[in-house]
Amino acid sequence: MDKKVIGIIAAYTLIMTSLLVATFGADWNPSGYDYSIDGQTLTIEEGLFSKETETVDVSDKQMEAVLFYLEVSKERSLWYTDVTVIGLILPFLLLGFIPERRPFRKFIPKQWYIIIVAAIALLYGAYSVTGHLEHLVQIEEYVSQLLE
């Protein structure tokens, strides 16, 4: 293996290890919201690095609490899908820098390969960002209803 291939492998490993540790080790998601339930008490954690916590009695707000749980679950699910797609698209992006190792090099010219892979990444990114923004708006709405 030459230095370029080793560099690509190292970059992929570093990026994916960081994403996987943050996602599954630290239970991180882009919304910054998490929760824990203890009987009728809901603890809402907000923040990406420094968590602010609010405790709510949900005995009379069960519908809002369930809707909040559902939106946070949807956000986590979308993030898990994002991590999977990043893991699948990233090698194709990185291999675009090594012409002799690039997939489909006999069938697709380098410029078209880069355009196709970048377009796929951008299209998925647009889909994903809009999904995260929709979930975040809903989560914030349910949090404000719970904290009233």
22-54 pLDDT, tens per residue?
998 888 888 888 888 888 888 888 877 677 888
Q: Does residue 78 surpass a pLDDT of 90?
A: yes
Query: Can you tell me the mean pLDDT for 59-85?
Result: 93
pLDDT band (50, 70, 90) for residue 102: confident
Cβ(43)–Cβ(36) below 8 Å? yes
According to the model, what pLDDT value does residue 85 have?
A: 96
According to the model, what pLDDT value does residue 39 have?
A: 85
Domain of 83, in residue numbers: 3-147
According to the model, what pLDDT value does residue 40 have?
A: 87
Q: Does residue 5 surpass a pLDDT of 90?
A: no
Q: Is the pTM of this model over 0.95?
A: no
Distance from C-alpha of 68 to C-alpha of 35, rounded to nearest angstrom: 9
According to the model, what pLDDT value does residue 103 have?
A: 85
Q: Which long-range contacts (CB under 8 A, 24 or more apart) does 32-36 make?
A: 33/72, 33/75, 33/139, 33/143, 34/72, 35/68, 35/69, 35/72
**Residues forming a β-bridge with 41:** 38, 57
Distance from C-alpha of 146 to C-alpha of 56, rounded to nearest angstrom: 7
Q: Of 46 and 123, which is predicted with more confidence?
A: 123
Task: Kindly report which listed range (51-65, 112-126, 127-141) carries the lowest average pLDDT score.
Answer: 51-65
**Residue 84, Cβ density class (10 Å: 0-12 exposed, 13-18 middle, ≥19 buried):** exposed
Query: Can you tell me the mean pLDDT for 87-116?
Result: 88
According to the model, what pLDDT value does residue 134 have?
A: 96
How many domains are there within the chain?
1
